[in-house]
Amino acid sequence: MSGPAEDLHDWGVAELSRQLAERTVSSVEATRHLLQRAQSQHDLGAWLCIDADRALAQAEAADARRQAGESSPLLGVPIAHKDIFVTRDLPTTAGSKMLEGYRSPFDATVASRLSAAGTVTLGKLNCDEYAMGSANENSAYGLAHNPWDRKRVPGGSSGGSAAAVAARHIPAATGTDTGGSIRQPASFCGITGIKPTYGVCSRYGMIAFASSLDQAGPMARSAEDCALLLSAMSGFDERDATSAQRPPQDFLAAMTARRDGADAARPLAGLRIGLPKEFFPAALAADVDGAVRRALAELEKLGATLVDVSLPRTELSIPVYYIIAPAEASSNLSRFDGVRFGHRAEHYTDLLDMYRKSRAEGFGAEVKRRIMIGTYVLSHGYYDAYYLQAQKLRRMIADDFQSCFGNCDLIAGPVAPTVAWPIGDQDDDPVKAYLADIFTLPASLAGLPGMSLPAGFGEHGMPVGLQLIGNYFNEGLLLQTAHVFQQATDWHQRAPAMEQSA
User: Which of the residues 157, 222, 234, 452 is marked catalytic?
Assistant: 157
**CA distance linking residue 267 with residue 264, whole number of Å:** 6
Question: With respect to ligand GLN, which residue has the nearer C-beta, 178 or 314?
Answer: 178
Q: How far is the CB of 198 from ligand GLN (least distance, A)?
A: 12
| CB nearer ligand GLN, residue 76 or residue 179 | 179
**CA separation, residue 98 to residues 103, 110, 111, 375, 475 (Å):** 12, 23, 22, 19, 35
Q: How many CB atoms lie within 10 A of CB 250?
A: 14
Nearer to ligand GLN, 29 or 177 (CB): 177
Amino acid at residue number 191? I
3-class secondary structure per residue, 55-80: HHHHHHHHHHHHHCCCCCCCCCCEEE
Residue 201 in contact with ligand GLN, rule: CB under 6 A: no
Pick one of 27, 178, 234, 418: the residue that binds ligand GLN (CB under 6 A): 178
Read off the DSSP letter of residue 385.
I
Give Cβ neighbours of residue 277 (< 8 Å, ≥ 6 apart).
Answer: 308, 309, 310
Instruction: Pinpoint the alpha helices (H) of 268-421.
Output: 286-301, 317-332, 351-362, 365-378, 389-404
**Distance in angstroms (rounded) separating the CA atoms of residues 8 and 79:** 14
- Per-position x/- string for 387-426, each x denoting binding to ligand GLN as judged by CB under 6 A, each - no binding: ----------------------------------------
Cα–Cα distance measured from residue 374 to residue 278, given in angstroms and rounded to the nearest whole number: 28
Among the listed residues 126, 437, 462, 492, the single contact to ligand GLN using CB under 6 A: 437
Could you tell me the smallest distance in angstroms from the CB atom of residue 450 to ligand GLN? 11
CB atoms within 10 A of CB 239: 11
Among 123, 133, 190, 267, binds ligand GLN (CB under 6 A): 133
- Is residue 364 a contact residue for ligand GLN (CB under 6 A)? no
CA distance 270 to 457: 28
95 near ligand GLN, rule: CB under 6 A: no
**Nearest distance in Å: CB 209, ligand GLN:** 6
129 binds ligand GLN (CB under 6 A): no
| Binding of ligand GLN by 217 (CB under 6 A) | no
- Least separation in angstroms between residue 493's CB and ligand GLN is 27
Site for ligand GLN in 304-333 (CB under 6 A): 325
Nearest approach, Cβ of residue 377 and ligand GLN (Å): 15
Q: Does 177 bind ligand GLN (CB under 6 A)?
A: yes
Beta pairing class for 215-220 and 192-195: antiparallel
Q: What is the C-alpha separation between 273 and 304, in angstroms, rounded?
A: 7
Active site residue 181: yes
Asked if residues 222 and 194 have their Cβ atoms less than 8 Å apart, the reply is: no
Tell how strand 410-414 and strand 120-125 pair up.
unpaired
3-state class of 119 per DSSP?
A: coil
> Which member of 139, 174, 181, 418 binds ligand GLN (CB under 6 A)?
181
User: What is d(CA 172, CA 200) in angstroms, rounded to the nearest whole number?
Assistant: 19
Q: Which stretch binds ligand GLN (CB under 6 A): 171-179, 231-239, 308-316, 349-357?
A: 171-179
Q: Is 443 in the site for ligand GLN (CB under 6 A)?
A: no
Task: Please pick, from the candidates 19, 139, 157, 202, the single residue that binds ligand GLN as defined by CB under 6 A.
Answer: 157
- Binding range to ligand GLN, per CB under 6 A, among 90-98, 126-134, 284-292, 398-406: 126-134
Under the binding rule (CB under 6 A), the answer on residue 131 touching ligand GLN is: yes
157 catalytic, yes or no? yes
Of 66-74, 163-171, 174-182, 296-304, the window that binds ligand GLN (rule: CB under 6 A) is 174-182
Distances from the Cα of 202 to the Cα of 107, 232, 235, 443, angstroms: 12, 12, 7, 18
Check residue 134 for interaction with ligand GLN (CB under 6 A). Answer: yes
Is residue 83 at the binding interface for ligand GLN, with CB under 6 A as the rule? Answer: no
Residues acting as catalytic residues: 82, 157, 181
Q: Which residues bind ligand GLN (CB under 6 A)?
A: 131-134, 157, 177-181, 209, 325, 437
